[in-house]
Structure 1
């Protein structure tokens, strides 16, 4: 099967280099790697500098939207390019993630099983500590410690899931026909938050399954974060409202509750989320 990795990126140049190196040393390197650069013209040079024996990735450039990253549109464009290049399996991998050596092969086996073909397939994600220099394969394996909020089946096992809110777009695979049935990410979302939860809600509403794939390890490289992500409060409020309009429930409840506790947002009498100082 033709397996294509789709990565969207703005900045994070060294993280992208590490991902490309990881793909090159995979037991099953991808047939293609599609990289969508959002408002970052340097990505072409970064990819060329990180070129390996697997060949240079296909890079497409798109502009930001009023300074916000169009993540949903970028991922959809990446999938479109991949399908045009003949992809049977789309493997979406966040730019911060280094693939484990068996990740692509494990996803491919899961997608090849007819019981999983019409599903979102999700592997475990380990959050790495700060690190100087390149990560070796041995170091990654030694640091394997998947995030405890999501299932982590035994290697070789594929478990069915029912809590679609646990879906993350950091690392997942889907067959091209199932992607076509999904219709991709809803492009009304821009900036931070919401689009991956929306995709999972679309999958559930469409009868598309959720599968947890044991052994399809991805390793998330360290970068500074805030909790809650107050620098993205405007994006999160806007995208949460859009999600509520589409699905009649609120996503990102933990973040919204903490923003409310800090006086950054409030709930109106009608139950809407109101940004502090925003006109009614």
Structure 2
């Protein structure tokens, strides 16, 4: 199965470099590695040095058009003959067997494939030693983690995440790509999963398709993305009749940043004019 890996990048140059190193150790070489450079010429320069296919997209951080960028990557991949699309977050280093496991789990039926992701501690002096990453394997406990060479099907599409997933070109066309009404951080990946469910695709967790998420500082909840999360959550609610990212919304409310207007069925920034 002709497989193309798709990554979005703006900054995180060292993380992208480690992803290139990880793919170089893959037991199956992808047809191409497409990197969508969102407003960052340094990403394109790095792609040229690593024989990756860089694609430019005008963007202005931090409010990045993630949905549009994934669609551009997929369109480029399918135009180049890809039959299986593997999306990897720029922070993720793939296990050598990740592509093999996604290929083995893909089928003629419509499937949304997800693999386990381990969040790594800060890199030691000198960087991550890729040969030891499997020893640090500790997949996120909120997601399924089937044994290697097995899979687990699920109907809980709220668990889908875009850190590491795969989909055949045919299924991508059926789903119709990511909704581009989302801008900035949050919501677009859950929307994609709901679109997949709406066309009858199944969610399949793939044992052994491991990825290792490189450490970077984060806020919990991500207060720096509050405006985008609130806007995107509202877009999702209008499309699907329910609120995504409830954990973050509830945490923001508890901290006094937002409040819920039950009569209007909306979240508002505290102190913002209505």
Q: TM-score, normalised by structure 2?
A: 0.96
Residue in structure 1 matched with residue 115 of structure 2 by the alignment:
123
Residue in structure 1 matched with residue 3 of structure 2 by the alignment:
3
Q: Report SS of the residue matched to 1:42.
A: helix
| CA positional deviation for 1:158 | 1.3
Residue in structure 2 matched with residue 273 of structure 1 by the alignment:
267
- Asked whether 1:154 is paired with 2:147, we answer yes
Match of 2:67 among 60, 69, 72: 72
Distance 1:18 1:66 in 2: 22
What are the residue-to-residue correspondences of 1:237-256 with 2, within 5 Å?
A: 237-256=230-249
What are the residue-to-residue correspondences of 1:10-21 with 2, within 5 Å?
A: 10-21=10-21
After TM superposition, what 4+ stretches of structure 1 lie above 3 angstroms from structure 2? none
Residues 50-93 of structure 1: per-residue CA shift (max 9 Å, x gap): x2xxxx11111112268510000000000000000000000000
Distance 2:39 2:25 in 1: 29
| CA positional deviation for 1:128 | 0.5
Distance 1:14 1:66 in 2: 18
Contact 2:48 2:54 (C-alpha < 8 Å) held by counterparts: no
Cα RMSD after superposing both structures: 1.2
| CA positional deviation for 1:48 | 2.9
Contact 1:2 1:86 (C-alpha < 8 Å) held by counterparts: yes
Q: Report SS of the residue matched to 2:166.
A: strand
Contact 1:17 1:47 (C-alpha < 8 Å) held by counterparts: no
Structure 2 residues without counterparts, runs of 5 or longer: none
Q: Report SS of the residue matched to 1:255.
A: helix
Structure 1 residues without counterparts, runs of 5 or longer: none
| CA positional deviation for 1:134 | 3.8
Distance 2:146 2:6 in 1: 24
What are the residue-to-residue correspondences of 1:191-270 with 2, within 5 Å?
A: 191-268=184-261, 269-270=263-264
Q: In 2 relative to 1, CA 82–48 (structure 1 residues): closer, same or farther, beyond 3 Å? A: same
Which segment is superposed worse, 57-66 or 221-230? 57-66
Query: Would you say how many aligned residue pairs link Structure 1 and Structure 2?
Result: 272
Q: In 2 relative to 1, CA 238–223 (structure 1 residues): closer, same or farther, beyond 3 Å? A: same
| CA positional deviation for 1:157 | 0.5
- Asked whether 1:107 is paired with 2:102, we answer yes
Residue in structure 1 matched with residue 45 of structure 2 by the alignment:
45
Which segment is superposed worse, 172-181 or 257-266? 257-266
